Structure 1
Amino acid sequence: MLSAIGLDEAQEATYRTLVAVGAAEMSDLAHRLGSTEPETERALRRLERQGLAAQSSSDTQRWVAAPPGVALGALLTQQRHELEQAELAAVLLAEEYRAEASEPSVHDLVEIVTGASAVAHRFAQLQLGAVEEVCALVTGHPVAVTGYDNAAEERATARGVTYRVVIEREVLTLPRGVVELTAALGRDEQVRVVDRVPTKLVVADRALAMVPLTGRDTEPAALVVHASGLLESLMGLFEAVWREARPVRLGLEGQPGAGTAVEVPDCGPDGMDLQILSLLLAGMTDASVAKQLEVGLRTVQRRVKGLMEEAGVTTRLQLGWHAYERGWVGRT
């Protein structure tokens, strides 16, 4: 737990033991740790440099623990300061990079990653660097990364990153297909299904994308695309597939199809949804719509969120366009 402030396991164990007894002879401490005296001394010297332990003034073989509240607090404050300095340096470097690359060459907009381990590592980096949203098209033929070993996805969703994923129907027939789908839905990911997706694809924050370059019979390779017209086209491809895909959930226990994937029928908005849409497109606020229809504000907001999920959009402006395109509301 104290590795964040630079202590290894032996040093942390030494400090914890010393804190438990308050003070101890070197030999006694080594015995308690099940270690040798030279190893224990090395750990104590490290703790001494960190201000976590000190030799007794009356007995050089006796060591005393520094109060954790004071000593650890000082180290944590120092760590925070160093992190702030690193963040500032990162911001300055990013600004310098943008200034130098105001007109990036074509070679700066794409990069090629070769080899299964390199592709998997870059795939994880892309997700771990996401701040808001990750969009993905998933085929039934994983090469370098599978859903089962994608720990980066779990860490990203835990940080609040949203996921929109379209999977091929074949994915659900794989040995761990339903298990992975259950895990994704448990992380509140939005998952839809189609017969086939045109290509594997992952896009982070609409700023960085990754697509495969090779098939199953050759060494895995991928193209990483930075902000550019090509990236916009890839994002447009995802949105087109997302709109045509059907939401998917798992059958509930005690019901037919329990534990299997069930596609949610595209029933379209009901009468209340259409009323809410019409009033919003007329320029009314959520609160005004709720008052007009004599329903709760949360009801309006919940239904609008449901409509956005059904339409596969992320903004209300997109929802309005989608409503006109699907004929949910008429143009005036």
Structure 2
Amino acid sequence: MLGALGLEDTHEAAYRALVSVGAADVPELARRLARGERDTEGALRRLEQHGLAARSSARPGRWVAAPPGVALGALLTRQRHELEKAELAAALLAEEYRATAAEPAVHDLVEVVTGGAAVAQRFLQLRLGAHDEVCALVTGDPVVVTGVGNGAEEQAADRSVRYRVVVERSVLDQPSGITELTAALGRDEQVRVVDRVPAKLVVADRSLALVPLASHSSEPAALVVHAGGLLELLSGLFESVWRDALPLRLGASGVTEQGPREPDGTDLEILSLLLAGLTDASVAKQLDLGLRTVQRRVKHLMELAGVTTRLQLGWHAYERDWVAREP
């Protein structure tokens, strides 16, 4: 628990034991810790360096614990200061990187990463570095990386990062497939399914993408794609697959597919009035509906169309003949 302050488990155990007894000599503390006296004395000296323990002036040979509120508070303050300096350094480096990457050379737009450990590390960095959204296409043949469930999503959820994932139907047949998808849906990730996805792909914030390469050799590889035309193409590919995929829902019977549903009559009336230029409040008044009901139905229509803005919803409404093209 105190590892974040630079203490190893053995040092933390020694400090906790010393706090519980108030004062102790090395042999007594060694018995409590079930460790050798030499290791115990080394741990006490380490605690002394951190200001967490000191030799008793009243009783030679015994050690006393420093008050946790004071000693640990000082360590926390120092750690916060170090973190603030690290954050400032990271911000300065990011600004320098943006300045030098404003007009990157063509050969800098794509990196080739080789080796399973290197690919997995870049994949983790990409997801943990996302601020807004992570989009993923997941095939039924995972090599190094998967689209759901290895801890990064939980940390992303804590930072309110949105996840949209499209999986191949064969993922549902894998032993751990349902378990991982259930966990993903439980984190309020949006998951959809198609028969096949064109390629494994992860896109973070529309600014960075990772494309694992199908390799016949024993060494996995991946492309890391930076901002540019290729990244826009990959983002468009994801949106195209997402639009045609079927949503997965988590119910009492487990993970199930939700088939396509056409808007009902009320949905179509709401769409027509919105396209006519009415506000949500005006639409609600015209149709004798609650404002929240109108907004909830519009949100559902956007999910049904696979879009993120109302402008896109209007375009899809015409494309799918949800509203008449002629008055």
Aligned to 1:131: 131
Cα distance change, pair 110–58 in 1 and its aligned pair in 2 (3 A): same
Deviations 1:66-93 (A, max 9, x none): 2212221221122112111111111111
Q: Tell me the amino acid that sits aligned with residue 73 of structure 1.
A: G
Deviations 1:147-186 (A, max 9, x none): 6763333433344322111112222222332222222222
2:315 equivalent among 314, 321, 328? 321
Cα distance change, pair 85–294 in 1 and its aligned pair in 2 (3 A): farther
Aligned to 2:177: 177
Aligned to 1:18: 18
Deviations 1:206-230 (A, max 9, x none): 1111113324566321111011110
Cα deviation for residue 108 of structure 1 reads: 1.6
Cα distance change, pair 289–238 in 1 and its aligned pair in 2 (3 A): same
Aligned to 2:194: 194
Q: Choose 22-31 or 283-292, whichever is displaced more.
A: 283-292
Q: Tell me the amino acid that sits aligned with residue 64 of structure 1.
A: V
Aligned to 1:221: 221
Equivalences for 1:39-58 in 2 at 5 Å? Answer: 39-58=39-58
1:299 equivalent among 283, 293, 296? 293
TM-score (norm 1): 0.89
Q: Tell me the amino acid that sits aligned with residue 304 of structure 2.
A: E
Q: Tell me the amino acid that sits aligned with residue 220 of structure 1.
A: P
Cα distance change, pair 31–131 in 1 and its aligned pair in 2 (3 A): same
- Secondary structure in 2 aligned to 1:80? helix
Q: Is the 8 A contact 1:55 1:61 kept in 2?
A: yes
Q: Is the 8 A contact 1:124 1:150 kept in 2?
A: no
Q: State yes or no: 1:98 paired with 2:98.
A: yes
Q: State yes or no: 1:168 paired with 2:162.
A: no
- Secondary structure in 2 aligned to 1:134? strand
Equivalences for 1:272-311 in 2 at 5 Å? Answer: 272-311=266-305
- Secondary structure in 2 aligned to 1:143? coil
Unaligned runs of 5+ residues in structure 2 are none
Equivalences for 1:199-278 in 2 at 5 Å? Answer: 199-215=199-215, 219-250=219-250, 252-253=251-252, 258-259=253-254, 261-278=255-272
Q: Choose 14-23 or 277-286, whichever is displaced more.
A: 277-286
Cα distance change, pair 216–284 in 1 and its aligned pair in 2 (3 A): farther
Measure the CA separation in 1 of the matches of 2:323 and 2:85: 53
Q: Is the 8 A contact 1:185 1:249 kept in 2?
A: yes
TM-score (norm 2): 0.90
Measure the CA separation in 1 of the matches of 2:24 and 2:274: 72
Deviations 1:227-272 (A, max 9, x none): 111000000011011111111235x44xxxx44x532121122233
Cα distance change, pair 195–15 in 1 and its aligned pair in 2 (3 A): same
Q: State yes or no: 1:155 paired with 2:149.
A: no
Unaligned runs of 5+ residues in structure 1 are none
Aligned to 2:63: 63
Q: State yes or no: 1:84 paired with 2:115.
A: no
Q: Choose 151-160 or 90-99, whichever is displaced more.
A: 151-160
Q: Is the 8 A contact 1:54 1:64 kept in 2?
A: yes
Aligned to 1:113: 113
Cα distance change, pair 330–68 in 1 and its aligned pair in 2 (3 A): farther
Q: Is the 8 A contact 2:26 2:41 kept in 1?
A: yes
Measure the CA separation in 2 of the matches of 1:146 and 1:99: 33
Measure the CA separation in 2 of the matches of 1:287 and 1:61: 79
Measure the CA separation in 2 of the matches of 1:129 and 1:110: 18
Cα deviation for residue 110 of structure 1 reads: 0.9
Measure the CA separation in 2 of the matches of 1:84 and 1:217: 44
Deviations 1:80-125 (A, max 9, x none): 1211111111111111222223211112211011122322222222
Cα distance change, pair 41–312 in 1 and its aligned pair in 2 (3 A): same
Measure the CA separation in 1 of the matches of 2:282 and 2:85: 47
Q: Choose 149-158 or 198-207, whichever is displaced more.
A: 149-158
Q: Is the 8 A contact 1:213 1:221 kept in 2?
A: yes
Identity fraction in percent? 71
Q: Choose 223-232 or 100-109, whichever is displaced more.
A: 100-109
Q: Tell me the amino acid that sits aligned with residue 116 of structure 2.
A: A
